[in-house]
Structure 1
Amino acid sequence: MYYEFYLDVYFLENLVMNYALLRITNKLLGCSATHLRSLLSAAVSSAASVCIILLYRYSMISTILVSVAANTLMVRFGCKIKDGKLLVRGICLFYTGSAGMGMLFSNLRRMTGATGVRAFVVTTAAAYCCISLVSWICNRLKRKQQRICDVTLFQGGREIHLRGLYDTGNMLWDTTLQSYVSVIDIVPVKELLSEEAAEELAKFCQKDICDKPELLLTLKPHYIPYKCVGCEMGLLPAVVLDTMYLKQNGVQKVITHPVIAVDKTYSSSLRSYQMILNPNLIDS
């Protein structure tokens, strides 16, 4: 039994797969390697793969060592990794992706019956789709992460720490106090108050008559008109806190007397953030 094996096609298929895996690994690790750097590293590793084919009949150990060394160097230079721990993560991602893409390409070839040049075209198309998909997912996650910041609220000597999301859909504006408005659930606000004051705030949010309104004087409770898609205009209860700290990427902003709308229908239990920040606070 004999079969034909084309080294040029094998080289090109490895080149495409290695390049795709390097770009995906580079994206997932947040490295700064250029497309050209990844392509050159993939080409060198693909050439090494051809050498491995020639060495296979002589020594299995040599084959394994050359393969591991070639892939390690490829990930190291192809993703521009300088840290040892990051390199280990990169190698793990590369081999995991290699197994996944190998199965994907194998199934595609079996389904399409592609061989030779057709197999190369199928491999290239699939690799391009994989790179595009991973890039799209990473960009979406990165954009969302850039909109999330650490928030610290202060009131009457108490403080709470939570996560806030800059939401471009939140355009609330307090016409009375001339201030941008952020939104939060009532539960975190209660943590800043005494037990009696928290009960009075709950009554105020329900539009009930407060028994001890003097407990809420420092919060300056009032209502803000709002309108959202799919519902009629309504009123949101709002309070004024002492201070709000916003911290993102090492930059900290201090906002004195922030206006916070308390929305009892807003639940943050299943979210990665607990507060909806007004996007204008970024430039305020």
Structure 2
Amino acid sequence: MYYELYIDVFFLVNFMMDFILLQITRRILRCSATHGRVCLGAAAGALLTCAVVMIPIPYAFIKFILFHGLVNIVMLKAGLKISWDRTFVKAYVVLYISGILVGGVFEYLRQYMKVGSLFFALAVVSYFAVLGIWNFLSYLSRLREYRCEAVLYKDEKVLRVEAVIDTGNSLKDAVTGKPVSIVDESVVKTLTDAGLPEGIRYIPYHSVGKEAGVMPVITLDKMCVCQKSEKWIDRPLIGICEGQVASDGAYRMILNPDIL
């Protein structure tokens, strides 16, 4: 059994796929390489792939090393100008994960492709699909960074609540200038035995759907924000939301990022 290989078609297909993978890697790592530079890297990768296929090499493991070592290293260096540091390792990993994702999307969509000439259109669709997957994973990663646990202390009461760090929360006390975080009304009732504590006061605020209003604010004894490390805040100001701060109850407190 033998296969007939059209080297020009093989080169073009590899160039297209290498270009897509380099573009995805470039977008994910925010590299400064130009499109022309990416084309150069894709051409180098496709040319080396053709060379490795055409040159008779007796041992399969040598071809394996050349494909996954030499070809990809040259492609990354030529296409993205990445230095020999941690960034290169990241780029190498992103390139391979992107290749797996593109291959998966490509195989899934190929069952609907009846015409061989639609290959390049399918490759473009796979490119945008994989970019969307990377962006979604990046969003989930950022979301985890903003989620944390807050431990609230008031008199002799201690309460742990799920919290989110919201960069859109810029609420501050007009008198002291201290940042104000916001909690569910139920949190304050738990800390104060269903009643509002002494020393409560009101500050003006505005939000989406409500141009102006006033919010009751209390001062806690202290608060601990638990992320990778603990951040302690003495006598933090806490605004009391009417009802829940999250409609689905996923968290009960919105932290002002200025307290961190």
- Could you tell which deviates more after superposition, 97-106 or 144-153? 144-153
The answer for the alignment partner of 1:203 in structure 2 is 194
| In 1: Cα distance, 2:114 partner to 2:179 partner | 61
Ranges in structure 2 where 5+ consecutive residues have no aligned partner: 226-230
Say whether the 8 Å CA contact 2:41–2:76 is kept in structure 1.
no
Unmatched tracts of structure 1, length 5 or more: 191-197, 206-215, 247-251
Residue type of the partner of 1:261?
G
8 Å contact kept, 1:162–1:274: yes
If the length of structure 1 is used for normalisation, what is the TM-score?
0.58
Q: Aligned residue for 1:16?
A: 16
Aligned residues of 1:184 and 1:266 also touching (Cα < 8 A): yes
Instruction: Report the Cα offset of residue 96 of structure 1.
Output: 3.7
- Cα pair 2:24 2:131 within 8 Å, conserved: no
Determine helix, strand or coil for the equivalent of 1:260: strand
* Cα distance in structure 2, aligned partners of 1:74 and 1:126: 26
Kindly tell me: are residues 94 and 276 of structure 1, through their superposed partners in 2, closer, same or farther at Cα, counting changes over 3 Å?
same
Once residues 134 and 203 of structure 2 are traced to their aligned partners in structure 1, the CA distance between those partners, rounded to angstroms, is 41
2:127 paired residue number: 128
The Cα offsets for residues 17-70 of structure 1, whole Å up to 9 and x where unpaired, read as 223223334454x35352444433222111111112202575423322211223
Describe the shift of the 1:56–1:120 C-alpha distance in structure 2 as closer, same or farther (beyond 3 A). Answer: farther
2:228 equivalent in structure 1: none
Q: Secondary structure at the match of 2:193?
A: helix
1:230-265: per-residue Cα shift (whole Å, max 9, x none)?
89x99854203478899xxxxx9x999653113463
Residue identity in the other structure for 2:136: I
| Segment drifting more, 70-79 vs 254-263 | 254-263
Please give the alpha-carbon distance, in whole angstroms, between the structure 2 residues aligned to 1:46 and 1:141.
34
- Please give the residue correspondences for 1:18-167 in structure 2 after superposition, counting only pairs within 5 Å: 18-28=18-28, 30=29, 32-36=31-35, 37-55=37-55, 58-74=58-74, 76-77=76-77, 78=79, 80=82, 82-83=84-85, 87=89, 90-115=91-116, 118-130=117-129, 132-134=131-133, 136-137=135-136, 140=139, 164-166=164-166
Query: d(CA) in 1 for partners of 2:34 and 2:144?
Result: 25
Q: Are the aligned partners of 1:151 and 1:244 in contact in 2 as well (CA < 8 Å)?
A: yes
Does residue 262 in structure 1 map to residue 253 in structure 2?
no
Letter in 2 for 1:99: I
Distance 1:76 1:226 in 2: 51
Matched, 1:238 2:239: no
Aligned equivalent of 1:194: none
AA aligned opposite 2:101: G
Aligned residues: 250
Q: CA deviation at 1:15?
A: 1.9
Q: CA RMSD in A?
A: 5.1
Partner residue, 1:5: 5
- Check 1:70–1:86 CA distance in 2 against 1; reply closer, same or farther (3 A cut): closer
Residues 111-156 of structure 1 show CA distances to partners (whole Å, capped at 9, x for unaligned) of 32333xx244224422432354246436756876897799898989
1:182 is displaced (CA, Å) by 2.4
Cα distance, 1:189–1:204 mapped onto 2, change above 3 Å: closer
Q: Are 1:181 and 1:259, in contact at CA under 8 Å, matched by a contact in 2?
A: yes
